[in-house]
Amino acid sequence: MSIEADGFDVPIDGYVMHLRVSELEAVAAGLGAFDSSEEGDLLTLARALRCLMPAERAPTWELAVRRFGRHKPLAQAAGEIGLDEIVARALMERFNRGLTEVPAPEHDSTAAVSSSQPPQPTPGP
C-alpha cells in the first residue's frame, strides 16, 4: 500500500495513536465501500477520527474495531471496553457523522496535510 504511515496517526492529548492497517481494513470492510478507492476509505476513517474531540478518539476507534471490524453488537463492544451503551451509541453517531463530513482524499487538496494539523474537532452534544 502506498499510503504514508503518518496518514494513520491520530493525535490524542500529546500522544499519537497509530491505527493499524489491518484494523482500518476490517472496519472499512464492515462499513462497506464509501470512497472511490481502498486507500481513500482508510484515510477517510483516520480523518473522521481526527475530527472528534481528543478524549473521544481512542474509545471511538476501539468501538469501531469491535462493532464494524469484528461484527459485534454495540452493547457487547461497549461492555468490552467499559463503556455504557448510551455513551457508545453517541460516540458511534459522531464518528458516522464525521465519515460523511470528511471530503474524499482524492478530491481534497488538504488530504496531504500531516496529522500534526488535524481538523478542528466538533464538540459532542
Predicted TM-score of the model (pTM): 0.78
Angstrom distance (rounded) from CA 51 to CA 33: 20
Answer whether residue 122 is part of any domain. Answer: no
Q: What is residue 40's predicted lDDT score, i.e. its pLDDT? A: 82
Cβ atoms 38, 106 nearer than 8 A = no
How many structural domains comprise the chain?
Answer: 1
Cβ atoms 114, 43 nearer than 8 A = no
Answer whether residue 70 is part of any domain. Answer: yes
Answer whether residue 101 is part of any domain. Answer: yes
Answer whether residue 57 is part of any domain. Answer: yes
Series of mean pLDDT values for 10-residue runs along the chain (125 residues):
67 94 94 74 92 96 97 97 97 95 70 44 55
As to burial, measured by CB atoms within 10 angstroms (0-12 exposed, 13-18 middle, 19+ buried), residue 52 is buried
Chain centroid to Cα 115, Å, comes to 13
Torsion of CA 88, 89, 91, 96, to 10 degrees: 140
Answer whether residue 117 is part of any domain. Answer: no
Answer whether residue 27 is part of any domain. Answer: yes
Angstrom distance (rounded) from CA 124 to CA 26: 26
Answer whether residue 84 is part of any domain. Answer: yes
DSSP string, 29-62: HHH---SSSHHHHHHHHHHHHHTS-HHHHHHHHH
